[in-house]
Amino acid sequence: MKSAFRLLAAAAIALVATAVHAADFKPAVVYDMGGKFDKSFNEGVYNGVKRFTEETGIEVMEFEVTNEAQRQRAMERLVQRGATALLGVGFGQADAISAVAEAHPEVQFGIIDVFWLDQPNLRQYSFKEHEGSYLVGVAAAMKSETGTVGFVGGMDVPLIRKFACGYVQGVKSVNADIEVLQNMTGTTPSAWNDPVKGGELAQSQIDRGADVVYHAAGGTGIGGIQTTADAGKLAIGVDANQNYLAPGNVLTSMVKRVDVAAYQHFKDAHKGMFSAGIMQLGLAEGGVDWAVDEHNRDLVAGDIEAAVAAAKEAIISGGISVHNYEDDSSCPM
């Protein structure tokens, strides 16, 4: 498989020279709030785990977190059960995995959506969500008939602000006069799993004129998609390809390839190719993109598809630089 990684922390590399025998290799994953079948972020990870199991025949031990206190205990228990490679899902697991990795240097750890930890046995996967969000912003602006579009975020944290900021930049690149309505669901992890609230926020934006609503809210966003479709407006999905959830009413999805990260973590550990450090995936690395398939092709064919393709090429080549909110918490408007 073609590598999609850029190693940014060379000083933190620890290569394992020999492949691990299947009988001794015990992978494990700790999903975050919302569960592995959230049709979004966690489920994307699950798809990567499933791919690894299908290719190797090796079952992956799993734990689905339902409250914050479970994270570290779950990791410790999985290590006690013999886990040799463990993947944590989401930035909320950063403190837990850092502590457990320090206590168990023999285990190969990985975490998705974290880039600030410093453990020699920890691989951190970070994505350029702002680049993918820019693309769907272009599509939203070109499709909008009202001159108003929306964004519904999950937990109000810099990562989700990064999605929103990239989206705004894409929208404004098409038409600086388009209004972008923004709402965050909450400030606690429960914000990822509240589809009722997601629907309410989407409806409030529709009531204020939005005819395209992008969500970056995990399971909460499913409610937003359904409400937007019921209102006869257009939704934009996130993380997984969610075009199928409401065919004809999902303009596109900003695909974040957490499945690639999950698959690669276990594959590399199994083959003795594990390395610690920060690995960042954007458009150039195939880590983010927009989704076009049989469910939405009629909605984006022609000018929209051409414009998004041009924006994607320009971002990859450096012709367009998308501001990263996590680097600077201002957002060009």
Distance CA 117, CA 97 (A): 9
At 237-284, the pLDDT tens digits run: 999 899 999 999 999 999 999 999 999 999 999 999 999 999 999 999
Looking at residue 135, its amino acid is L
| Confidence (pLDDT) at 245 | 96
> Where on the phi/psi map is residue 197: left (φ > 0), alpha (ψ -120 to 50), or beta?
alpha
| Confidence (pLDDT) at 214 | 98
How confident is the model over 305-328, as a mean pLDDT? 96
Distance CA 199, CA 218 (A): 13
The structure tokens listed for 57 are 């025949």
Instruction: For residue 33, give the 3-state DSSP assignment.
Output: coil
CA distances from 97 to 101, 111, 289 (A): 6, 8, 28
Q: How confident is the model at residue 20 (pLDDT cuts 50, 70, 90)?
A: very low
Q: Is the pLDDT of residue 18 over 60?
A: no
| Confidence (pLDDT) at 40 | 83
DSSP symbols for 200-241 = HHHHHHHHTT-SEEEEE-TTHHHHHHHHHHHTT-EEEEEES-
Beta-carbon count within 10 A of 106 CB: 7
Do 285 and 5 touch, CB atoms closer than 8 A? yes
Q: Within 13 Å and on the Cβ side, how many CA atoms surround 178?
A: 29
Distance CA 163, CA 253 (A): 12
At 146-199, the pLDDT tens digits run: 999 999 999 999 999 999 999 999 999 999 999 999 999 999 989 999 999 999
Distance CA 108, CA 223 (A): 36
* Contacting residues for 9 by C-beta, under 8 A, at least 6 apart: 124, 276, 277, 278
CA distances from 330 to 64, 158, 184, 326, 327 (A): 34, 11, 17, 9, 9
Strands 250-256 and 288-290: antiparallel
Please name which of 330, 12, 39 lies closest in space to residue 198, comparing C-alpha atoms: 39
Do 157 and 90 touch, CB atoms closer than 8 A? no
- Phi, psi (degrees; rounded to nearest 5) at 100: -70, -35
The structure tokens listed for 73 are 């205990």
The structure tokens listed for 211 are 């005819």
Distance CA 171, CA 288 (A): 18
Distance CA 45, CA 269 (A): 16
Q: Is the pLDDT of residue 13 over 60?
A: no
Question: Percentage of the chain with pLDDT > 90?
Answer: 84
The structure tokens listed for 80 are 């006690």
Q: What is the pTM of this model?
A: 0.84
The region of weakest confidence among 14-28, 196-210, 258-272 is 14-28
